[in-house]
Chains A and B, each alone.
Chain A
Amino acid sequence: MTPHTAGQIELLGQVLISGVLLGGLYALIGLGMSLIMGVMKIINLAHGELMMVGMYVTFWAFTLGKIDPYVSLLIVIPVLFVLGAMLQKWLIAPVMEAESILPENQVLLTVGIGLVLSNLALLAFSADYRSVPVSYASKTIYWDVKTGGQTISLSFSFAMLVAFGIALVLGAVLFLFLGYTDLGRMIRATSQDARAASLMGVNTKRITYITFGLGSALVGAAGALLAPVYYLFPQIGGPFTLKAFIITVLGGMGNIPGAVLGGGVLGLAESLGSVYISLGYKDAFGFIIFVLVLIFLPKGLLGKGRA
């Protein structure tokens, strides 16, 4: 094997690793929005800002309490759950009930919530970029593969590996929860047909609070996982809301395995596209796939979501 070929294989390997690991994190970000869209049929445009809140909780837990980001998941998840449930109960649900307001306008409400959250953060914490400098932030695991007389070196970011692992675990827990618990069944029932579910005795209002709380907790957790490898400032949310939206459509609204697949597809599209086609248009590849799916596979990649 020539050094050139080895270099190309190394490049492809590294690109695939990046795509998959990032994809796992994206999937977790998208899961929450997919759940909310599936049950309540509203697009939560404050999704990125909820992640931002999760990241600030992680940051302050680390800075003030020296709590490791992965441990602070135990704080972030309940805090974001409560925040999400309260937003649904006190702000979103009342607006949905007012008949004079068009259903589409709930989306505007979530935009407003996002603005308030990011500006509160700006006021409280200033615009400074924050980092969570854990000792393992740059820790890398090297894997040298000797083949064909050449050595191919691949590197894995430790923090990204852990984030990927935890994201998968959370996704699996969510899947089992929805599939095998009573509360999970009630959520699925509400997402299939809210009227019928309430006729069956499901307290659909309470289900919406819980679902929004769950969705918020998931994206907050994603924020905690992202904290060691990225950085934080009040307006960080916007691009991630967009990615969550793409993943939700790719996977089909409310389809959990679909959202995981969607995250992976987005991560890989960005990675591969940025290297083999053009770096400048990296974000465009996700959008292109998004549009193609909307046109040809409106129920999502797995064909099981809601169009």
Chain B
Amino acid sequence: MTKPRPMQLATLALLAAGLAASPLLAQGKTFTVGVPLPLTGEHAKFGEMKKQAYQMAADEINAKGGAKGTKLVFDIQDSGGKPDTAMAIVEKFITINKYPIVVGEYTSQCSFAVAGVAEKYKVPYLVDTGATDKITQQGWKYVFRLNSPAGLYAKGVFSFFEEVAKPKSVAILYENTDFGTSTSKSMKDYAESHGMEVVLSEGYQSGAVDFKPILQKVKSLRPDIVYMVSYLMDASLLMRQSKELDLNAQAFIGGAAGHTLPEFLENAGDATELCMAATLWTPQVKYPGAGAFDANFKKQFKKAPSYHAAEAYATAFVLADVLSRAKSTSPDDLRDALAATDMMTAFGPVKFQAWDKFTNQNRMETLVGQWQKGKFETVWPKTLASAPYLYPAPRWRDRK
């Protein structure tokens, strides 16, 4: 290489300075948040839905000038639903992209993995879907959660048991990763401490073709309640095959997720009728903006939003609120602003608290919905209900 001339040196210096300065310039006009999501793999559908909700919220926020003049931007990367990939993405977000805050992920497994990485690097991570209890039970300082933990999903169901159903026995089927295991444990603990017999409690591998053997076993044990914690397609197959086997119960109850989604109705058809489910949010719940969010999402994306989409949507607004209060965009200042959050969103109230073993955990009501004639109505608690509950359910063969 020839000896560099003065003009070449000057140009190189300007270029280097420009490159170094651009992130600072960019942050002044836009603020980027790192978001790992499963955009491929078996949960791709919900990763996609959350992505759409984040972007819809960002568009709304930015159209009103953003957060204190700063535009909110989401950098969404595909984890495929694999914890290792999610961890690698977040490490890259933190160490290379230098994003001061991370939100997202869908499965409990991935959320927990990402939380560990964020805590290690002291970067705040706002969980908005991952439900397994342990994510906010580690005493971590940088991990916050907007949605209820799995153990509380069924609180609405429990109060329904106490005041209406008073069942004596329950069979529990759950998908065997963090989500199903965590959510079903709360039902098991409740049953054992309230004199209900747990006739069966078995985890299954998501994706099976034929659940009939285990459903027949449940049938032979004659439980009052069948409680299932499943992702979408397993929920559909479980209900269809329960109907085919004429497996009857006073109620089939899902632990959120699969049993609450519009696609559950599309795939299981009339096998969904009278099925109940614990749920975190419905479009008719009386929180400001919930109905509008549902209508706008349907208009823009031609499909109904699941409660995961509502979670993502609310998260964007929480971020905007945090940005407008934070002393700076350093991870620690963002973390402190996040901890001081106290606001209402379309998903519900957001205020991070500590109780029992939980820290930085938002505290919300959980609802019970029921599929009635193809609509998922809120049936419990009565104060938030949109339709009366129908219990107990008649036998499959006796139904019209």
Chain A residues in contact with chain B, CB under 8 A?
A: 7-8, 10-11, 14-15, 18-19, 21-22, 25, 119, 122, 126-129, 131, 133, 137-138, 140, 142, 153, 155, 157, 160, 226, 229-231, 233-235, 239, 270-272, 274-275, 278-280, 282-283
Contact = CB atoms under 8 A, between A and B. Distances in A.
Contacts of B208: 282
B244 A127 contact: no
Contacts of A131: 236, 266-267
Contacts of A126: 48
Contacts of A239: 207
Interface residues of B, number: 39
Contacts of B207: 239
A234 B22 CA distance: 40
9 contacts: A11-B219, A18-B210, A22-B210, A137-B269, A138-B271, A142-B246, A226-B209, A235-B42, A271-B210
B252 to A, nearest CB: 15
A129 B209 contact: no
A271 B214 CA distance: 8
Contact of B45 (A128, A271, A275): A128
A14 B244 contact: no
Contacts of A282: 204-205, 208
B213 A231 contact: no
Given A127-B45, A129-B263, A138-B244, A279 B214 contact: yes
Contacts of A19: 213
B241 to A, nearest CB: 8
Given A127-B45, A282-B205, A14 B176 contact: no
A138 B396 CA distance: 12
Contacts of A7: 220
Contacts of A122: 40, 44
B39 A127 contact: yes
A159 to B, nearest CB: 10
B134 interface: no
A61 to B, nearest CB: 19
Contacts of B263: 129
B18 interface: no
A280 B204 contact: yes
Given A11-B220, A129-B45, A230 B244 contact: no
Contact of B203 (A22, A129, A279): A279
A275 B216 CA distance: 9
Interface in B187-219: 202-205, 207-210, 212-214, 216-217, 219
Nearest to A275: B213
Given A14-B245, A155-B244, A235-B40, A129 B216 contact: no
B335 interface: no
A39 B217 CA distance: 43
Contacts of B139: none
Contact of A235 (B41, B176, B203, B246): B41
Contacts of A272: 213
Contacts of B233: 129, 231
Q: Which 5 A-B pairs have the closest CB atoms?
A: A127-B44, A14-B216, A279-B202, A7-B220, A280-B203
A138 B243 contact: yes
B356 to A, nearest CB: 28
B203 A274 contact: no
Nearest to A283: B205
Contacts of B241: 157
Nearest to A272: B213
B220 A10 contact: yes
A137 B239 CA distance: 13
B232 interface: yes
Contacts of A140: 244-245
Contacts of A226: 209
Contact of A280 (B40, B205, B246): B205
Nearest to B209: A230
Contacts of B213: 14-15, 18-19, 271-272, 274-275
A133 B266 CA distance: 9
Nearest to A14: B216
Nearest to A243: B209
Given A18-B210, A129-B232, A153 B246 contact: yes
Given A233-B45, A282-B204, 19 more contacts: A8-B220, A14-B212, A15-B213, A22-B209, A25-B209, A127-B40, A127-B41, A127-B48, A129-B232, A131-B266, A157-B244, A229-B209, A233-B42, A270-B210, A279-B202, A279-B204, A280-B203, A280-B204, A283-B205
Contacts of A127: 39-41, 44-45, 47-48
B155 interface: no
B53 to A, nearest CB: 16
Contacts of B246: 142, 153, 155
